[in-house]
Structure 1
Amino acid sequence: MVRKVIIDCDPGHDDATAIMMAGIHPDFDVLGITTVKGNQTIEKTTTNALNVCQWLGLDIPVYEGMSEPMVIAGPPTEERVHGQSGLDGPHFPSLTKKKESMHAVQYLIQTLMQADDHEITLIPTGPLTNIAMAMRLEPRIISKVKEIIMMGGSYENGNVTPAAEFNIYADAEAAYVVFNSGIHITMMGLDVTRKALCFPSVVDRMEKINNKASKLFVDMMRFFIKAQHETYGWEGAPLHDPCTVAYLINPDVFKIKECHTDIEIRSEQSYGRTNCDLFNLTDKVKNTGVAIDINTEKFWDTVEQCLKMYD
């Protein structure tokens, strides 16, 4: 059965790869792409989403969303690893694809309200501001969501603070709303996404595909690997966001543990932490499937499979 999805993102090299995978795969009907401030400003993340779709020939509408968090200003944009554009590396032709006139939050509300109950899967790979705002404006959309497969959080250490991962820290209040919505969330956190390292050998492997998707992937990853090495000293670049799409294509790529997760929004030291009760220390409802391990060989096989689907 084809799964109806909306991708909510802040492209970003890894977001762009997630779009590339979902946009072509026959398991998905990508209804729309909504953008949010995160890796870069809202103007730049929207431009990046449009460029990726235009380059790949994906006829998917792009809706520009929230330019600021719900309550507290988040961390600065991530020029260190994504560059000034948010998607440095590729050189795109002149952009002719236009963003839609409707705001992303209104698009989410309208599309979900027209859907049947539990019909649409949300795939957020950036801060959760758009989704949380939509839930607050129109709570009836919650019953329309089948599930949320997201990149964000960590049951161990963060990457912005010792406690918090970037996407959650960027709008922890939004994450609090989403995690308390009653919708089941599958969380691809840093614990597994840091293992999805794109080494130069992976780039060489994908380059052999020799189509428009592999060219984009190679151009993105060569910059991304260099930036990650200069920033963190890593030899490979963690491809965080495509883990969401890879999980939906092939759940066997990941090991998941069900538990309850709370979002910390009151602590100074631990603001934005995803407190995952992996040991079931409480009797709270298990609202989250937390990814705790990844089969990297199967992950790269899945990425390669998607790239090969392009002309």
Structure 2
Amino acid sequence: MTKKPVILSTDPGIDDVAAMTISLFDKEIDLRMIVATWGNVELKYTLQNALGLETFLHTRVPVVRGANQPLVRPAISAASVHGKTGIAGYEFKNFDQSLLKPGLAATLMHEEIQTSPEKITLMGIGPLTDYALLFKQYPEDLAKIEKIVIMGGNIGHGNHSPFAEYNIAGDPEAAQVVFQSGIPIQVAPLEIGNQAHVTSEQLDRVKACGEVGQMLYSMFANIHETDGSNQIKIYDPTAVGILVRPDLYTFKPAHVEIELAGKFTAGASAMDFLSEQPNAEIATKVKTAEFADWFIEAIKIANEGRK
């Protein structure tokens, strides 16, 4: 099997940690680089969490220091959901600093894209600041990118504001650059994360997946869902699912524009499913039970693959 070469931009974040864990051990993914960006919490914590996770998992994928703020706007925070450090309920004890690759994220991604014999897939599960900087600084890279898979945006109401989802609202200008890039884009919007939940019983199955499962259980058990739901919504791993298990999803083409100026709608993802000029494929449904089974099995595989 030929693995898909992937660069991951992430702002860990509890669900980001789950997505990273799955990506690091999935047999179809060749994870070339992890770009830790600002997002759920400050960059110092997201970078620390990426290094801590890899040290815990005994993996050696290079970690790159990404953007520490949005392109234009003040940074927002999701510490109320994820905890001050981004991973409430758990604390990594060791951080292998040798995993941290020095240099600017855009330049390091550019070098990886240009030297790769295969086209690279970009996966974005946080604000898209670093990808926007890459596209603006190195437009020649666009032709060597296979596609972009994004967890972000919303079809209906948002989770940051009535009309905006958190990852896109964090840096709407960056998101607009990405959606206007001309690269094929697949999107797992907020609604897919809402559908792809796990129950308390399924969370117990996660806990049974060895030390890796116990680590993730400790984090997920401490998520404070803003809607008060007892179901744990699985957002960022849905992007990994799109890449390796697209059969679990229903997609519809749409033209996506990001609202930049609206007083009440800034950061909203305007998804026009009637457009004759689509620029993205939007996941509109996920097979919830099958997704949960895949998610739990992927964690089991990660635990078995951890040396």
Paired position in structure 2 for 1:21: 22
Question: What CA distance in whole angstroms lies between the structure 1 residues aligned with 2:262 and 2:208?
Answer: 49
One-letter code of the match for 1:90? Y
CA deviation string 1:200-222 (max 9, x = no partner): 2121112222x222121111111
RMSD of aligned C-alpha atoms? 1.3
Q: CA deviation at 1:100?
A: 1.6
Question: What CA distance in whole angstroms lies between the structure 2 residues aligned with 1:172 and 1:271?
Answer: 8
Unaligned segments of structure 1, at least 5 residues: none
Q: Contact 2:164–2:267 (CA<8 Å) still a contact in 1?
A: yes
Paired position in structure 1 for 2:86: 86
One-letter code of the match for 1:128? L
Q: CA deviation at 1:60?
A: 0.8
Paired position in structure 1 for 2:109: 108
Paired position in structure 2 for 1:129: 129
Q: Contact 2:14–2:82 (CA<8 Å) still a contact in 1?
A: yes
Paired position in structure 1 for 2:8: 7
Paired position in structure 1 for 2:214: 215
Question: What CA distance in whole angstroms lies between the structure 1 residues aligned with 2:103 and 2:293?
Answer: 37
Paired position in structure 1 for 2:280: 288
Question: What CA distance in whole angstroms lies between the structure 1 residues aligned with 2:37 and 2:176?
Answer: 17
Identity %: 29
Unaligned segments of structure 2, at least 5 residues: none
Question: What CA distance in whole angstroms lies between the structure 2 residues aligned with 1:127 and 1:3?
Answer: 23
Paired position in structure 2 for 1:166: 166
Q: Contact 1:13–1:86 (CA<8 Å) still a contact in 2?
A: yes
- SS of equivalent residue, structure 1 residue 267: coil
Paired position in structure 2 for 1:242: 237
Q: CA deviation at 1:54?
A: 1.0
One-letter code of the match for 2:189? G
Question: What CA distance in whole angstroms lies between the structure 1 residues aligned with 2:63 and 2:269?
Answer: 29
Q: What are the equivalent positions in structure 2 for 1:1-311 lying under 5 Å apart?
A: 1-75=2-76, 77-98=77-98, 99-116=100-117, 119-209=119-209, 211-224=210-223, 227-228=224-225, 231-278=226-273, 280=274, 282-283=275-276, 285-309=277-301, 310-311=303-304
One-letter code of the match for 1:217? L
TM-score, normalised on structure 2?
0.94
Question: What CA distance in whole angstroms lies between the structure 2 residues aligned with 1:250 and 1:42?
Answer: 30
Q: CA deviation at 1:103?
A: 2.3
Question: What CA distance in whole angstroms lies between the structure 2 residues aligned with 1:286 and 1:96?
Answer: 43
CA deviation string 1:18-73 (max 9, x = no partner): 00111001101000100111001111101011111111112111101100111122
Question: What CA distance in whole angstroms lies between the structure 2 residues aligned with 1:44 and 1:208?
Answer: 28
Question: What CA distance in whole angstroms lies between the structure 2 residues aligned with 1:143 and 1:268?
Answer: 36
Q: Contact 1:74–1:169 (CA<8 Å) still a contact in 2?
A: no
Question: What CA distance in whole angstroms lies between the structure 2 residues aligned with 1:307 and 1:139?
Answer: 36
Higher alpha-carbon deviation: 26-35 or 101-110:
101-110
Q: Contact 2:43–2:67 (CA<8 Å) still a contact in 1?
A: yes
Q: Contact 1:41–1:67 (CA<8 Å) still a contact in 2?
A: yes
